[in-house]
Amino acid sequence: MTVATELDIRVQTDAARSILGVDELVGIALRRNPKRAHLLVSTVLAKHVPTVPGIALAAGELLGLLVSAAVAGATVPAAAGFGDRLGELLTRLAEGPGETDAGAVDKARRDLAELRRDIRHVTTTQPEVVTFGYAETATGLGQLVADALGSYYLHSTRHAPAGTTSFAGFAEEHSHATDHALLPSDPHWLQVNGTLVLVDDELSTGTTVINTITALQALIPQRHWVVAALIDLRSSADLARFDELAATLGTRISVVCLGAGSIELPADVLTRAQRMIESMPAVTPVGEPVGEVLLLDCTDLTPVRSARFGTTAPVDSRLAAAIADRVAAVLPGGQPHIQPGDRGILVVGSEEFIALPMLTAHELERAAAPGPVRFSTSTRSPIAALDEADYPIRSAITFRSHDTTSDGVGVRFAYNLTAGVRRFGTVVFLPEPGTDPALLHGDDGVVHAIRRVSDHVVVVLLPQPLLPQTDPTDGMPHP
């Protein structure tokens, strides 16, 4: 029995506002969070569910196409056709990877690029367009949308780099970690009467977006706000709140998404969810770690600039390809290393560090890696795991955080590294650039946790990131 059936959660698609069905885009899991019982687990975001990297890229690029149209005041009749193609690919991949899937994904992405080319020239002549992504889940998705627009990009953060001061902040009230900070190094990153694109993975009530618009509109009023999400499940009352906010603030708010609809929750959903969580068997891996560990030193490669400080540069495909080539060179090459239950190779990003690891996974797939490649990331989100085929979170590993964040050291998670008796033979982990390797080890460290669920662990060490004041590449003025 599915969680939705057990808890009487009903999700419906609004076909008139959707180019993909909501059921194609998400599954329902249970949160370990007293504020909200459920979590909508995306099938295309590559956050909690290991995903074909090209699918995640295509979903972000399709959302970027819709944003481009909204900014330019254009329509994209062909977008629905791309939604159908993406849905067909998702169905085929759920049944198991096929020989032609990589080519089909690449073909869809090329066609999307052709459509974007006709719209993008309008947006690139509007320098006041800025794209903003929400940490931690949508930092990579926001980068994909920004790249589709060719715009400046900034994402919120829960990191606390030394010597930085927050430009502004806002709350994500339903989250287990509510506070977001904005750390743009350019004090003029946002122009008055511009267009600000807000990118998140989902809109449930829209409260976080309302908090963001309210906070930023008071500082730097915008003419147009474009809200972009993979799914939009706001109620009619929540839809009206956006209209009321726009009227109150004297601005315009547009919303685009891949799938729209509604969700109905019983009044006692929190109590019922807690009872269900308590009845779930433990699926956290037990036993001693057995996987071999290789620290792959890539600190001689080009330093990156984190989008938490703001950037005009797209994800560096050449850097991603260089990392992928080095990873491919150290992967177990012989079939004796690949057991019948292996799921191939999993590339794992680290919390807010998503965009470059995702593109690296895609380049690794194109480099003819010895087995299928999937991508996901570690996360702060505590989710209940249940090893059943119709539940989206099949397993969980936990470990100590290794980043400097505003709320200090805490527990982190990675999901679906195992499913039943199957696991990934090799896990490639990319921590934030400049991470001290010593912080990754120890009995409660991430390397120890991954070694318990994979035979081979490759940890990619990247150079210290460029400091906000010294980045020579993105053309932005810095204080």
User: Tens digit of pLDDT for each residue in 360-382?
Assistant: 999 998 876 677 899 999 999 99
Alpha-carbon gap, residue 86 to 94, rounded angstroms: 12
Average pLDDT estimate for 46-65: 93
Least confident of 50-54, 115-119, 264-268: 115-119
Write down the pLDDT at residue 479.
29
Write down the pLDDT at residue 329.
93
Residues 416 and 314 reside in one and the same domain? yes
Average pLDDT estimate for 46-63: 93
As for how many domains the chain has, the answer is 2
pLDDT band (50, 70, 90) for residue 414: very high
Asked, for residue 468, whether it belongs to a domain, the answer is: no
pLDDT band (50, 70, 90) for residue 176: very low
The predicted-structure confidence for 210-249, as pLDDT tens digits, reads as follows 999 998 999 999 999 999 999 999 999 999 999 999 999 9
Q: Domain end: 245, 264, 283, which one?
A: 264
Residues 125 and 9 reside in one and the same domain? yes
447 contact partners, CB below 8 Å, separation of at least 6:
293, 429, 440, 441, 457, 459
Residue 385 burial (CB count, 10 A) = 25
Asked, for residue 186, whether it belongs to a domain, the answer is: yes
pLDDT band (50, 70, 90) for residue 476: very low
Write down the pLDDT at residue 153.
96
Tell me which of 161 and 391 has the higher pLDDT: 391
Write down the pLDDT at residue 33.
77
Write down the pLDDT at residue 335.
40
Q: For residue 184, what are its two tokens?
A: 């743009």
Write down the pLDDT at residue 435.
96
Q: Which helix (H) or strand (E) holds 283?
A: none
Residues 252 and 315 reside in one and the same domain? no
Write down the pLDDT at residue 118.
67
Range of the domain at 154: 3-264
Residues 47 and 196 reside in one and the same domain? yes
Tell me which of 449 and 468 has the higher pLDDT: 449
Residue type, 471: D
CATH label of the domain that carries residue 366: 3.40.50
Of 197, 212, 190, the closest CA to residue 150 belongs to 197
CA atoms within 13 A on the CB side of 333: 6
Asked, for residue 322, whether it belongs to a domain, the answer is: yes
Residues 138 and 241 reside in one and the same domain? yes
Q: Is 224 helix (H, G, I), strand (E, B) or coil?
A: strand
Residues 436 and 337 reside in one and the same domain? yes
pLDDT at 475 over 50: no
Residues 201 and 335 reside in one and the same domain? no
Per the CB < 8 A criterion, the answer to whether 156 and 134 are in contact is yes
Write down the pLDDT at residue 466.
82
Residues 300 and 244 reside in one and the same domain? no
Write down the pLDDT at residue 222.
96
Residue type, 237: A
pLDDT at 174 over 60: no
Write down the pLDDT at residue 417.
95
The predicted-structure confidence for 116-173, as pLDDT tens digits, reads as follows 776 655 555 566 899 999 999 999 999 999 999 999 999 999 998 876 667 765 555 4
**Per-residue DSSP letter, 467:** P
Alpha-carbon gap, residue 128 to 190, rounded angstroms: 7
Per the CB < 8 A criterion, the answer to whether 36 and 83 are in contact is no
Write down the pLDDT at residue 293.
96
Residues 313 and 455 reside in one and the same domain? yes
Tell me which of 220 and 91 has the higher pLDDT: 220
CATH label of the domain that carries residue 38: 3.40.50.2020
Asked, for residue 273, whether it belongs to a domain, the answer is: no
Write down the pLDDT at residue 469.
58
Alpha-carbon gap, residue 273 to 204, rounded angstroms: 18
Angle at 208 between CA 267 and CA 67, to 5 degrees: 115
pLDDT band (50, 70, 90) for residue 471: very low
Asked, for residue 471, whether it belongs to a domain, the answer is: no
Residues 346 and 456 reside in one and the same domain? yes
Asked, for residue 53, whether it belongs to a domain, the answer is: yes
Residues 301 and 233 reside in one and the same domain? no
Asked, for residue 325, whether it belongs to a domain, the answer is: yes
Residues 22 and 114 reside in one and the same domain? yes
Q: For residue 394, what are its two tokens?
A: 């099949």
Place of tokens 């009872």: 275
Write down the pLDDT at residue 169.
55
Asked, for residue 319, whether it belongs to a domain, the answer is: yes
Write down the pLDDT at residue 272.
87
Alpha-carbon gap, residue 181 to 223, rounded angstroms: 23
Write down the pLDDT at residue 470.
43
Mean pLDDT of the chain: 86
What does the longest C-alpha to C-alpha distance in the chain come to? 65
Alpha-carbon gap, residue 342 to 336, rounded angstroms: 12
Least confident of 75-79, 199-203, 343-347, 446-450: 75-79
Q: For residue 136, what are its two tokens?
A: 């931690």
Average pLDDT estimate for 457-475: 73
Residue 152 burial (CB count, 10 A) = 24
Least confident of 176-190, 366-380, 383-397: 176-190
